[in-house]
Amino acid sequence: MYKQLATKILSVFQKQAPATGVGLFRLLFGLITLQEVFFLIYFNHLIFDPIPYMDVEFPMISFFLWIWAAIAFCLMIGYRCQSTSIANYLFWLVFVNFTPMQRDFDGGFDLFMIGANFFLIFMPIDKAFSIDNLRKKLATPFVRTVQLSPVEVSRLTYYLPVIICLGFLYFDSVIHKMFAEHWRNGLGAWLPSSMPYYMSALDLTWFLNIESLQKLIGYTIIVFQLTFLVFFHFRLLRPIYLFIGMAMHLGIALSFNIYPFGMGMLIFYTLMMPFSWYRRIGLWVKRPRAVLTVFYDQQCPLCNRTVMILNHFDIRHGVAFKPAQVHARDYPSLSQIDEQTLLTDLYAVDEAGLVYAGVDTYAQILIAMGYPAIVGWVMKLPMIHSLVSVCYRRIADNRTRLNCDVSCIKAEVPIFPVSLYDQIFAVDQAKLQKRHAYKIAKLLTFIILMQLNSSLHYGLLYRLKVDTRASAITSVMADMSNAVLMFSHTFLGITPHALYLHDHFEGYEHVLAITYQDETGEEHWLPFVNEQGRLLAPNWGRVHSMWANIAVTPNIDEIRLKKFIMKVTAFWGKKLDLNLDNTRFIIKMKKIKAPFLWEKDLRNINLSGEWLAIGSAEWRAKEIKINLPKDIDAL
C-alpha cells in the first residue's frame, strides 16, 4: 500500500502543469486573510477586550493586527513569498489558538485556513502573479528575461492541498451528516437558510420553496462529498466536481451569513481547474498582436527597469517593447525625430501610426493593457496631464545614462533565497526525485492517519456513543487519540467538520435580540439583530458564531449568555456614542421553528412573529446588571 502510494506520488511529482493556478490561489488566499484581519481590527474590542472599551486586556493587539494585515497584503501580491507565507501561518496559529478567537469567536474556517497556509509554505507561490518574479527581473536590468508562457510546476503542488484540505474535509463532514436527520431527508442546505440567525440578507424564499430542488441539492452535496476523494482527479470527471463544488461554496457565501467560510473554501477550486483550461484562458486573454509599440533606451538602467515593470503587468501582451537604437528607424512615423531626442523620452507608435511621447506614452500603455485603462484615461485629463508631465520631466531629464558593454549583459544574477518548493521539487536527478517522493508519501501517510484518528474519534465513536473509558486499554487509547488530536488540530487544522447538524438545530426554537431606550425613553433596535431576527452586517462570520452558536443555543448557558450580552451592549453602545449609564437595554425573544421535514415558506414564517421582552441590562460605573428569567428555554 505504501509503495503504491509512493509510486503514484513519484509519477505525479514528475508531471508538470502551469503555475497559474497556484499563483492565483496565493493571491486569493492573501485577499481572504486580509479581509478577515480588517474584520478583526473593526471588532477588536468586542473580541479581545474582557469588557469592550472599558477593560482593555491587550492594548497592543491593534498593532499586531496591522502587522498581520501588512503580511497578508505582501502574501497577496507575492512579495517575499516564502517569508510572508511562514509569517502568515504563525499569525493564524497564534491568534486562533491563544486568544479569545479560539473559543468564543470561532470563524468556522480558522482551522481550515491554518491547514491551507501550512501547504502554502511548500507551494511554488512565487512563480505566477508575484512581485518576487519582478524583483528577479529588475535585479539584472540589461538581461531581458520576459516569460511569455506560464512557468511549469509539479502537478503534486495542485493535488496534495486538494486531497488533504478538501477531500479529507468532505470525507469527515459526510460521516457526520449521516447521523443528522435533516441531512438524511435532503434538507441540509434548506434548514439553516430558513433560520433567522443563519440566513443572509439575500431573499431566497422562492428558491427555498421548491421542495424537490432543495432535496436534490441536499442529496447532491452528500454524494459529492462522499465520492470527491476517489473521483475528483479523473480527467473527465474533474469539470463536474469543479462546478458542483464551486456552486456549493458560492451558495454558502450567498445564502448564509458566514461568507468567509464559503469564500475560503471556494478559492481552493483554483487548484481544481483542469490544467488545459488555464492554457486556453491564457490564449483567450492574450491579444493576437500588440496594439502599441514602445521604444526605449536600451543603455539606460531606469528605462530597462521601467520596461520590465510594465511588461510584467501587461498580462494581455498588448504592448511590444523594442530598443530605440535598433528598431526606431524601421517606423516611418519616427523618421523625423533625431536619435538624441528619441532617447530622452519614451516614444510609442499605435496601430494607426500615431506617435506618442512622455506622459502620453504611459497613458497609452495603460490603455493598451486593458484592465488599468481608466488610469490612462484619467492621465489625459488637462489638469492631471499637466501635473504628471511636470513630475515626469523632472525624472526623465535627470536620469543618468549608463554606457553598457558586453559585461553588463553578462552580469551575474544576485542570489535570492531558494524556496522550500525549489529545494524539494527542482531536482533533475531521478534518484533524488524518487527519494523526495518517498518522503512526501511518508508525510501524506502520517497526515492520513491523523485525519482518520479525528474522523473515527468524533465521526463514529462519539456519534455511536461508544464508551471509550470502559476498560483500561480503551481509556489509554482514548488519551493517545486526544493527544494526537490536539497536535493535528493546532498545527494542521484537522478538526471535526460537524457543522449545522441535528444536535445543533434540535430544539433551536427561539432567537434573542437587544433593543435600547435612549434618554427620552424612545426604543431603538441595536444594529446587531434586527426586527426580523436576522444578524445584520457587519456582525457576520465569527461575530455571528459567537451569538448564534454560543450565546443563543437550544440549551442556553445563562453565564455565557450574560457574558455576551455584556460584550455586545458595551461594544455597540460605544460605537453609537450612547451614554451607557443612562441607557436601558431590553432583551427580547421570539419563537421560531427548526423542523427536520420540509415546510413551505419557513423562511418568512421564522422572520415574522411577535417579540417578547424577557429581561433587561443596565450599566452603572462600568458594571452591568442583567435581569433574565431563570429558564429561558421554557418560555
Matching residue, cell 522550500: 420
Residue 26 confidence (pLDDT): 96
Query: Is residue 432 assigned to a domain?
Result: no
Residue 79 confidence (pLDDT): 94
Select from 378, 409, 440 the last residue of a domain. Answer: 409
Rounded Cα distance between 68 and 91, Å, is: 7
Query: Is residue 267 assigned to a domain?
Result: no
Matching residue, cell 511562514: 86
**The amino acid at 509:** E
Rounded mean pLDDT of the chain? Answer: 86
Sheet with 584-591: strands ordered across: 523-525, 510-517, 584-591, 612-620, 623-627
Query: Is residue 100 assigned to a domain?
Result: yes
Question: Which is more confident, 475 or 468?
Answer: 475
Long-range Cβ pairs for the range 63-71 (8 Å, 24+): 64/91, 65/37, 65/40, 65/41, 66/41, 68/37, 68/95, 69/34, 69/37, 69/38, 69/41
Rounded Cα distance between 82 and 418, Å, is: 9
pLDDT in tens, 350-385: 888 888 888 888 899 999 988 899 998 999 888 888
Residue 630 confidence (pLDDT): 82
Average pLDDT of the residues in 510-526: 91
Q: What is the DSSP code (8-state) at residue 613?
A: E
Show the domain range for 69.
20-149
Rounded Cα distance between 450 and 483, Å, is: 11
289 contact partners, CB below 8 Å, separation of at least 6: none
229 contact partners, CB below 8 Å, separation of at least 6: 163, 167, 168, 170, 171
Report in angstroms the alpha-carbon separations of 528 from 33, 313, 509, 515, 537. Answer: 24, 43, 19, 9, 8
Query: Is residue 450 assigned to a domain?
Result: no
Confidence of residue 144 (pLDDT cuts 50, 70, 90): low
**The amino acid at 466:** V
Domain CATH for 315: 3.40.30
Confidence of residue 327 (pLDDT cuts 50, 70, 90): low
3-state class (DSSP) for residue 200: coil
Examine the domain organization and report whether 510 and 627 are in the same domain. yes
Query: Is residue 303 assigned to a domain?
Result: yes
Query: Is residue 189 assigned to a domain?
Result: no
Examine the domain organization and report whether 30 and 139 are in the same domain. yes
Average pLDDT of the residues in 180-209: 93
Rounded Cα distance between 124 and 128, Å, is: 8
Average pLDDT of the residues in 272-279: 88
Largest CA distance in the chain: 96
Q: Is the pLDDT of residue 339 over 70?
A: no
609 contact partners, CB below 8 Å, separation of at least 6: 533, 590, 591, 592
Examine the domain organization and report whether 402 and 513 are in the same domain. no
pLDDT in tens, 216-272: 999 999 999 999 999 998 989 999 999 999 999 999 999 998 888 889 999 999 999
3-state class (DSSP) for residue 214: helix
Confidence of residue 338 (pLDDT cuts 50, 70, 90): low
Instruction: Report percent pLDDT > 70 for the chain.
Output: 92
pLDDT in tens, 526-577: 999 999 999 999 999 899 999 999 999 888 888 999 999 999 999 999 999 9
Matching residue, cell 474535509: 169
Residue 209 confidence (pLDDT): 95
3-state class (DSSP) for residue 120: helix
Select from 383, 409, 435 the last residue of a domain. Answer: 409
Q: What is the DSSP code (8-state) at residue 578?
A: -
Q: What are phi and psi of 536, to 5 degrees?
A: -85, 155
Residue 131 confidence (pLDDT): 92
Question: Which is more confident, 270 or 150?
Answer: 270
Confidence of residue 143 (pLDDT cuts 50, 70, 90): low
Average pLDDT of the residues in 494-509: 83
What pairs with residue 587 in β-bridges? 514, 615
Query: Is residue 203 assigned to a domain?
Result: no
Give me the DSSP letters along 240-269.
HHHHHHHHHHHHHHHHBS-HHHHHHHHGGG
3-state class (DSSP) for residue 321: strand
Number of domains in the chain: 3
Residue 403 confidence (pLDDT): 43
Rounded Cα distance between 521 and 514, Å, is: 15
pTM value is 0.90
Select from 386, 409, 432 the last residue of a domain. Answer: 409
Residue 142 confidence (pLDDT): 59
66 contact partners, CB below 8 Å, separation of at least 6: 41
Confidence of residue 634 (pLDDT cuts 50, 70, 90): low
Q: Is the pLDDT of residue 400 over 60?
A: no
Q: Is the pLDDT of residue 438 over 90?
A: no
Sign of CA pseudo-dihedral 343, 347, 351, 354 = negative
